[in-house]
Structure 1
Amino acid sequence: MADIHFELVTPERAVLSADAHMIVIPGSEGDMGILHGHAPVMTTIRDGEIRIYSNPTTISQRITVAGGFAEVSDAGLTVLAEHATLLA
């Protein structure tokens, strides 16, 4: 399966730009798993954790976010967060 492109941006800086198998975001109505080919959607995000998967079972990166918006388009997933912190 193809990867999806992911961009994470805060008002201060571009935090991350990467390709991933799947990204799970804390949507306002619950966690959302985003894969390549996902239907276009725009949603608010709640405070929580973004999980980036390099394959179906491996989380390669975790990021805490505080508020913002997420948009899925043909270009991939873009998250505009008020605040983001990369976790080890």
Structure 2
Amino acid sequence: MAGKLHFSLVSPERELFSGEVDQVDAPGSEGDFGVLAGHAPFMTTLKTGRVKVYNDGKVLAFDVEGGFADVTPDGLTVLAEKAVEAAI
């Protein structure tokens, strides 16, 4: 089984999510992307769209409007200009 990825989603108002997850899909400005544990580091801007968080067979969704995603050896951090939890 693959390891867990630490994921944090932060907006100017508050931290919406922080925890260990299986996978995160996000709307990159140059194309949507997915991140798993051990992903190569990169940074990109985000376009308006949906971030999906997969963990233990469950899916959470957040609608974001712009921002940045930073993948490091420690995990993925999304700094969104605006973010709200969304129904799936």
Partner Cα separation in structure 1 for residue 60 and residue 70 of structure 2: 19
Superposition map of 1:40-79 within 5 A: 40-55=41-56, 58-79=57-78
Unaligned runs of 5+ residues in structure 1 are: none
Where is the strand percentage greater, Structure 1 or Structure 2? 1
Partner Cα separation in structure 1 for residue 55 and residue 13 of structure 2: 27
Partner of 1:17: 18
Unaligned runs of 5+ residues in structure 2 are: none
Which residue identity lines up with residue 50 of structure 2 in the other structure?
A: E
Name the SS of the counterpart of 1:2 in structure 2. Answer: coil
Which residue identity lines up with residue 22 of structure 1 in the other structure?
A: Q
Partner Cα separation in structure 1 for residue 54 and residue 41 of structure 2: 20
Structure 1 position 72, deviation (Å): 0.2
Which residue identity lines up with residue 66 of structure 1 in the other structure?
A: E
Identity %: 47
Partner Cα separation in structure 2 for residue 63 and residue 45 of structure 1: 13
TM-score by length of 1: 0.92
Partner of 1:87: 86
Matched length: 86
Call closer, same or farther: CA 1:34–1:5 in 2, change over 3 Å. same
Which residue identity lines up with residue 42 of structure 1 in the other structure?
A: M
User: Do the aligned partners of 1:22 and 1:34 also contact (CA within 8 Å) in 2?
Assistant: yes
TM-score by length of 2: 0.92
Structure 1 position 59, deviation (Å): 4.8
Partner Cα separation in structure 1 for residue 3 and residue 83 of structure 2: 26
User: Do the aligned partners of 1:52 and 1:60 also contact (CA within 8 Å) in 2?
Assistant: yes
C-alpha RMSD over aligned residues: 1.1
